[in-house]
Amino acid sequence: MKRTVYAADKVGFHILHTLFQTSMKYDRIHRFDEYFVTSLIVDGGACAGVVAMNLRGGTMVAIQGKATILATGGCGRVYEFTTNGFIKTGDGMALAYRAGVPLKDMEMVQFHPTCLPGTGILITEAARGEGGYLVNKDGERYMQRYLPSKMELGPRDILSRAMIQEMKAGRAFEGPYGLYMGLDLRHLGAKKINERIPMVRELVEKYMGLDPIHELIPVRPGQHYIMGGVSTNGKGETTLPGLYAVGETACVSINGANRLGSNSLSECLVFGAACGLAAAGFAKKKASYPRGAAAREALKKEEARVFDGVLGRERAKETVAGLRVEMQQLMERDVGIFREESALADACGMLGKMRDRFAAVGLADKDRVFNTELTAVLELDFMLDVALAIAHSARNRRESRGAHSRTDFPQRDDANYLKHTLAFRTDGPPRIDYVPVTVTKWQPVERKY
Ligand SMILES: Cc1cc2nc3c(=O)[nH]c(=O)nc-3n(C[C@H](O)[C@H](O)[C@H](O)COP(=O)(O)OP(=O)(O)OC[C@H]3O[C@@H](n4cnc5c(N)ncnc54)[C@H](O)[C@@H]3O)c2cc1C
């Protein structure tokens, strides 16, 4: 059965352009380009729209709505090394979290094994699907040590862990960006590489200055996707009436503890449609528009917080880049591919301190128009909330399951942990709770390979 779409190895590129161009065909779709959402408007226990910064105008606006859908993507940038773009800072997750909606299964973070060192650019699975080998510095196809039945076609989590183990065993290459493994396509030949995976060759030539027809591709694992997110049901509904979430920012739970490659497409298409219909139905049933007073109040509060507070802060002790890098390195080291109690405890404590230190972050650029330093500070604020939710959720799950690998609890423990984590925001550390997993047709079974 076909489970994805195919347009050479540039599928995402074509989807993005088709979606954008389609949105331009309909004049009833009003896009707010260059607007950055800073908070939700909550009135009488329901979501009544968003407050956003008009980056071009340097102003703050309230956008009211009977129903609001968060579709703000993942949060890969909380990690130092990721395949995700700079915009993936978990904004939607933090927006919902601050409005009292729990984040579900945040410990379930997927790492992809084949990323280019330095940039984090992803080398698609298709490279291994077409027959590429993973080799260590001795030229050995090391996956025979970890997963002989599947070798390079094993799942992302096992391949990523195997890479870390090879690195720890001293069998990795070393380059200007640290340790890496080799992805060998040379035996496939120029014709196959050019016809089947042209973008792999293009990316490696452009970003590494190497030709995979003749040379090994340096690769290492990087954060790629988060299975967790804003807790929703199958229609994208959250616990806050009028607020919906979909796509990578949501956790509708189709990915469990480990997403299969390409399932984001189904996530966005299937649940995007379900969520859109549910939100439209909700809005239609609401007779009156949200109160203007609530929007004005939220707007005033955000202007004071962002323009007077963050932008106006004098005598700053911290820089946004300094604190961000510290957080990213901590997440990579202590809440990364392998996890254990003392590192997780350390991460939870350090992140709590960083949360406090954030209050001393100052800006060199005081302009309101297209102030990228200001958006970076607001994104760091969102990321700190998200990182805390990830670290505390990971610390509390004392078992290994899917992408969550605890060296101190290596076994899956269905008796105690066949349940979803929920992280709730408090004034201190997140409050962690659990809800049961709904098992329908497919019974959970142990992964035996
Ligand atoms: C390199 C790479 C390759 C991938 N390949 C595949 C694949 O082959 N198949 C597959 O199924 N999945 C793939 N994925 C995963 C998939 O691309 C993502 O899960 C999916 O694109 C998420 O879509 P989304 O609409 O939820 O969010 P996004 O596409 O990330 O869109 C989020 C949007 O929200 C905007 N936004 C964020 N914060 C704010 C804010 N505060 N205010 C206003 N706007 C905001 C962003 O600017 C962005 O436009 C890949 C991911 C990566 C990184």
Q: Where are the domains of the chain?
A: 32-108+227-449, 112-221
pLDDT tens by residue, 32-52: 999 999 999 999 999 999 999
Q: Which of 83, 248, 259, 380 to mutate to test the pocket of ligand 1 (most atoms within 8 A of CB)?
A: 248
Q: Is 73 a pocket residue for ligand 1 (Cβ < 6 Å)?
A: yes
d(CA 105, CA 60): 33
* Token code pair at residue 437: 């997993």
d(CA 202, CA 210): 10
Q: Which atom in ligand 1 lies closest to the alpha carbon of residue 262?
A: 11
| 280 in Cβ contact with 67 (< 8 Å) | yes
Q: Which atom in ligand 1 lies closest to the alpha carbon of residue 74?
A: 30
The one catalytic residue among 3, 17, 112, 305: 112
| Partner residues linked to 133 by β-bridges | 184
Q: What is the three-class DSSP state of 267?
A: helix
| 35 in Cβ contact with 53 (< 8 Å) | yes
Q: Is 264 a pocket residue for ligand 1 (Cβ < 6 Å)?
A: yes
The one catalytic residue among 17, 28, 98, 128: 128
Pairing relation of β-strands 68-70 and 243-245? parallel
Low-confidence ranges of the chain (pLDDT < 50): none
Architecture of 112-221 per CATH?
A: Alpha-Beta Complex (3.90)
Q: Which atom in ligand 1 lies closest to the alpha carbon of residue 248?
A: 26
At 55 the pLDDT is 98
d(CA 277, CA 271): 10
Query: Any idea what DSSP says for residue 35?
Result: E
At 10 the pLDDT is 79
At 75 the pLDDT is 98
Strands (E), 139-283: 173-175, 178-184, 217-226, 229-231, 243-245, 250-251
The 3-state secondary structure of 320-348, one letter per residue: HHHHHHHHHHHHHHHCCCCECHHHHHHHH
The 3-state secondary structure of 344-384, one letter per residue: HHHHHHHHHHHHHHHHHECCCCCCCCCCHHHHHHHHHHHHH
CA of 72 to the centre of ligand 1 (A): 7
| 244 in Cβ contact with 67 (< 8 Å) | yes
* Token code pair at residue 206: 């452009």
Contacts with 359 (C-beta within 8 Å, 6 or more apart), sequence order: none
Active site residue 339: no
- Assigned CATH topology for domain 32-108+227-449: FAD/NAD(P)-binding domain (3.50.50)
CA 443 to chain centre: 28
CA of 16 to the centre of ligand 1 (A): 10
Diameter over CA atoms, the chain: 70
At 59 the pLDDT is 97
CA of 53 to the centre of ligand 1 (A): 21
d(CA 187, CA 183): 11
* Token code pair at residue 62: 């309230």
Measured between alpha carbons, how far is residue 265 from residues 17, 129, 233, 270, 385 in Å? 15, 19, 18, 8, 27
Sheet bearing 103-104, strands edge to edge: 250-251, 229-231, 103-104, 419-424, 431-436
Q: For residue 235, what is the enclosing H or E element?
A: none
Query: Any idea what DSSP says for residue 302?
Result: H
At 446 the pLDDT is 83
CA 289 to chain centre: 33
Q: Is 12 a pocket residue for ligand 1 (Cβ < 6 Å)?
A: yes
At 1 the pLDDT is 63
Q: Is 382 a pocket residue for ligand 1 (Cβ < 6 Å)?
A: no
| 246 in Cβ contact with 71 (< 8 Å) | yes
At 203 the pLDDT is 96
Q: Which atom in ligand 1 lies closest to the alpha carbon of residue 83?
A: 53
Q: Which of 407, 412, 405, 406 is nearest to 448 (CA)?
A: 412
* Token code pair at residue 290: 């949200």
Half-sphere exposure (CA, 13 Å, Cβ side) for 231?
21
